[in-house]
Amino acid sequence: MLDQIKFYQTGSNTIGNRLLNPSMRAIQASADRPNGLISGHRACQGCGEALGARYAIDAAMRATGGKIVVANATGCLEVFSTPYPESAWQLPWIHSLFGNSAAVGSGIAAAMKVRAEKNGDAVAPRVIAQGGDGGTTDIGFGPLSGMFERNDDVLYLCYDNEAYMNTGVQRSSATPPSARTATTQLVGEHPGADWGKGKDVPMIAMAHGIPYVATATVADLRDLEEKVTKAMSFHGARYIQILTPCPLGWGCASGVTVTVARMAMETGFFPVYEAEYGKITSVRKIRQKQPVINYLKLQRRYAHLTGKKADPNVLARLQALCDTNIKNFGLLGDDEPQLTPAAIQAYERSNKV
């Protein structure tokens, strides 16, 4: 009887749910979850990256029985998790440099394979390389692409908070247009980050034809866990970009980290999907469509767009960006997306005002 019932009524969108069979609950709901990243780390209050990292790493640990090794790029995550003399990690972990975590991951993967071969182990530990958007889409992009094209057995996790937060919120190639950063300030005729710049790394990853590419956010844990679990079922290069809001950098209250990420999904601002071997295989549909302003107004980095002096043209462009995502990825309705979407920057660049 209990199992025949759908559970959404009491919130299957929640992390656990006492009514569900434990095997159907999120890994994060488990009292003995791995806690790959444990308490005592020095992340800011409400840090989305700390949350996203624990979500993803725990899922990977579950999927592999704890046989995971992590290479971490320089950045907030590294700094707040391993300041001497305290590490918040509960798994083998290494930090080398800012731009090389994908390559370090490749090296570890090779080492794990060779060691397993030498020791006669049937299964070698799996490898995760991870970094923020700066370490991934900018400085670490070459090694990332190299890891992809070699199809090294590494899952790369990009914790995307859309700027260089560790150095004090500077623009990265993942910073959205019009957003304030320390290097794209809210001054002049066109405040915030320039339009028609930036890159879509999930799309670029797909263009490598690697086995698995996905986007996810900290606002949909089950989706995120499923994706990491699925990623671990593939061998070869895999990439997941996880939207992890930064309260400090985005200028939002520390408590709304998850809410603002949810808003990024529900507006279509951040399309959530997955792709196998270069083709999109599923899209996370918007549940409650929201206008982009509802996303923007939670964040002071868009303060110039939410006040009385907001430029309606810029708002319209941001809404158009969301609408384009919704259309291209089929984020609404039941239709599967028909075409492989192009990077969102392409639409913006081709529509220069």
Partner 1 sequence: MMKKPFATTLDPATSLANHTGSWRTLRPINVFKLPPCNKQCPAGENIQQWLYYAAEGDYEHAWRILTEENPFPACMGRVCYHTCEGKCNRGFLDESVGINSVERFLGDYALEHNLAFKRPVRETGKKVLIVGAGPAGLSAAYHLRRFGHTVHIVEMGKEAGGMMRYGIPVYRLPRNVLDAEIKRLTDMGITLECGRKVEDIEAEKKNGKYDAVVLGVGAGISTNVDIPQGDTNHILHALSVLGDIETSGDVQIARRVAVYGGGNTAVDVARSLRRLGAEPIIVYRRNRDKMPANEEEMDAAIQEGIQVKWLSTIAGAQKDTLKIEKMALDETGYPQPTGEFEELPADAVVLAIGQNVDKSALEKLKDLKMQKDAVEVDPQDMQTSIPGIFAAGDMATSDRTVTHAIGMGKTAARGVNAYLKGAKYEKPAKHEDALFEDMHPWYYTDAPKTVRPELELARRTNTFDEVQHGLTEENAIFEARRCLSCGNCMECDNCYGVCPDSAVIKLGPGKGYEFNYDYCKGCGVCAQECPCGHIKMVPEKI
Partner 2 sequence: MLNQIEGSLGVAKAVALCRPGVVCAYPISPQTHIVENVGKFVKEGTLKQCDFINVESEFSAMSVSIGSSAGGVRTYTATASQGLLFMAEGVYNASGLGLPIVMTVASRAIGSPINIWNDHTDSLSQRDSGWLQLFCESNQDAVDTHIMAFKIAEEVGLPVMVCMDGFVLTHAFERLDIPSQEEVDKFLPEYQPREFLDPKEPISMGAMVDPDAFTEVRFLQERKMVKALSVIERVTKEYRELTGHHSGGLLDCYNCDNATDLKLIIMGSTVGTAKDEIDRLKKEGINVGIISLKSFRPFPYEALKQAIGNTKQVICVERAFSFGARGIICPEVKRAMEGTNCEIHTALCGLGGRAIYGSTINGIVKQALAGKFTEEFTWFDINSNVLNSYLKDTEGVTFPQGPITDSQLQNSCK
Q: Which residues bind partner 1 (CB under 8 A)?
A: 1-2, 4-19, 25-26, 28-29, 31, 35, 37-43, 45-48, 50-51, 54, 81-82, 84-91, 221, 247, 253-259, 262, 287-288
Candidate segments 51-59, 147-155, 168-176, 196-204, binder of partner 2 by CB under 8 A? 147-155
- How big is the site for partner 2, counted in residues (CB under 8 A)? 48
Which residue type does 85 have?
P
Q: How far is the CB of 247 from partner 1 (least distance, A)?
A: 8
Residue showing tokens 């809210």 = 186
In the block, tokens 């004090």 appear at: 168
Partner from partner 2, partner 1, none contacting 6, C-beta within 5 to 8 A by type? partner 1
Indicate whether 125 belongs to the interface with partner 2 (CB under 8 A): yes
* Residues paired with 69 in a beta bridge: 127
Nearest CB to partner 2, comparing residues 53 and 112: 112
Among 106, 184, 217, 267, binds partner 2 (CB under 8 A): 106
Q: Are 33 and 55 in contact (CB under 8 A)?
A: no
Residues 249, 270: Cα–Cα separation, whole Å: 17
CB of 209 within 8 A of CB of 237?
Answer: no
Q: Which of 11, 66, 168, 255 binds partner 2 (CB under 8 A)?
A: 66
Which region among 46-54, 130-138, 139-147, 254-262 touches partner 2 (by CB under 8 A)?
139-147
| 217 beta partners | 243
Give the one entry of partner 2, partner 1, none that residue 105 binds, where binding means its C-beta sits below a cut-off of 5 to 8 angstroms depending on kind.
partner 2
Nearest-approach distance from CB 31 to partner 1, in angstroms: 5
Q: Applying CB under 8 A, does 78 fall inside the site for partner 2?
A: yes
**Separation of alpha carbons 77 and 41, rounded Å:** 9
* 312, burial (CB in 10 Å: exposed 0-12, middle 13-18, buried 19+): exposed
Quick one: tokens of 322?
């969301």
The residues, ordered by sequence, that sit 6+ positions from 28 with a Cβ below 8 Å of its Cβ are 15, 16, 54, 55, 58, 221, 225
Smallest distance from partner 1 to CB 162, Å? 18
Residue closer to partner 1 by CB (options 11, 65) is 11
Find the shortest distance in angstroms from Cβ 143 to partner 1: 22
Q: How far apart are CA 92 and CA 108, in angstroms?
A: 11
Out of partner 2, partner 1, none, what residue 51 binds, judged by CB under 5 to 8 A for its kind, is partner 1
Tell which one of 84, 120, 334, 350 touches partner 2 (CB under 8 A). 84
Cis before 191 (ω within 30) = no
